[in-house]
Structure 1
Amino acid sequence: MRKTIIYSFIALSVVLTGCEKDNFDEPAAILEGQITYDGAPVSVRSNSAELELWQDGYALNEFIPVYIAQDGSYSVSLFDGAYKLVRKGGDPWQPQLTDTIVINVNGRTELDVPVTPYITLTDASYTVSGSSLSADFQINQVVSGSELQEVFVFMSNSVLLDRNINDYAEALPVEALSFGSPASVSVSIPEDLQNAEYVFVRIGARSSNSNELIYTQAEKIEL
Structure 2
Amino acid sequence: MRTKILSFIAISCLLILTSCGYDNYDEPKSIFSGKVVYEGETIGVRTNAVRLALFQDGYAFKSEIPAHIAQDGSFSVSLFNGEYKLVRVGGAPWEAPQSDTILIRVKGNTVQDIPVTPYFTINNASFQKSGNKVVAKFTIKKIVEDAEITSVSLYLGKSILTDNNRNEGNISLDLSNLSLNQEITAEISVPDGLAKADYVFARVGVQSNKANEFCYTQVEKVELK
Q: TM-score, normalised by structure 1?
A: 0.92
Distance of 1:199 and 1:57 partners within structure 2: 49
SS in 1 for 2:78: strand
Distance of 1:85 and 1:7 partners within structure 2: 47
Show the counterpart of 1:18.
18
Distance of 2:19 and 2:164 partners within structure 1: 45
Counting only pairs closer than 5 Å after superposition, residues 56-205 of structure 1 correspond to structure 2 as 56-96=57-97, 98-205=99-206
How many pairs are equivalent?
A: 222
Contact 1:154–1:161 under 8 Å retained in 2? yes
List gaps (5 residues or longer) in structure 1.
Answer: none
- CA gap of 1:88–1:19, structure 2 versus 1, over 3 A, is closer
Show the counterpart of 2:221.
220
Q: Which amino acid aligns with 2:119?
A: Y
Q: Which amino acid aligns with 2:193?
A: D
Distance of 1:10 and 1:49 partners within structure 2: 47
Distance of 2:152 and 2:28 partners within structure 1: 41
Which portions of structure 1, spanning 4 or more consecutive aligned residues, are displaced by more than 4 angstroms?
5-12
SS in 1 for 2:100: strand
Of stretches 103-112 and 10-19 in structure 1, the one that deviates more from structure 2 is 10-19
Distance of 1:63 and 1:191 partners within structure 2: 44
- CA gap of 1:7–1:49, structure 2 versus 1, over 3 A, is closer
- CA gap of 1:10–1:62, structure 2 versus 1, over 3 A, is closer
SS in 2 for 1:164: coil
Distance of 1:54 and 1:29 partners within structure 2: 15
Distance of 2:182 and 2:162 partners within structure 1: 25
- CA gap of 1:12–1:179, structure 2 versus 1, over 3 A, is same
List gaps (5 residues or longer) in structure 2.
Answer: none
Distance of 1:7 and 1:100 partners within structure 2: 51
Structure 1, residues 69-110: CA drift from partner, whole Å, max 9, x if none? Answer: 110000111111100111122110000252311111111111
Distance of 2:116 and 2:130 partners within structure 1: 37
Q: Which amino acid aligns with 2:215?
A: I
- CA gap of 1:60–1:18, structure 2 versus 1, over 3 A, is closer
Contact 2:170–2:188 under 8 Å retained in 1? no
Distance of 2:8 and 2:149 partners within structure 1: 71
- CA gap of 1:9–1:190, structure 2 versus 1, over 3 A, is closer
Q: State the Cα distance separating 1:14 from its structure 2 match.
A: 4.0
SS in 1 for 2:137: strand
SS in 2 for 1:170: strand
Contact 1:28–1:107 under 8 Å retained in 2? yes
Contact 1:35–1:115 under 8 Å retained in 2? yes
SS in 1 for 2:155: strand
Q: TM-score, normalised by structure 2?
A: 0.91
Q: Which amino acid aligns with 2:132?
A: S
User: Percent identical across equivalent pairs?
Assistant: 42
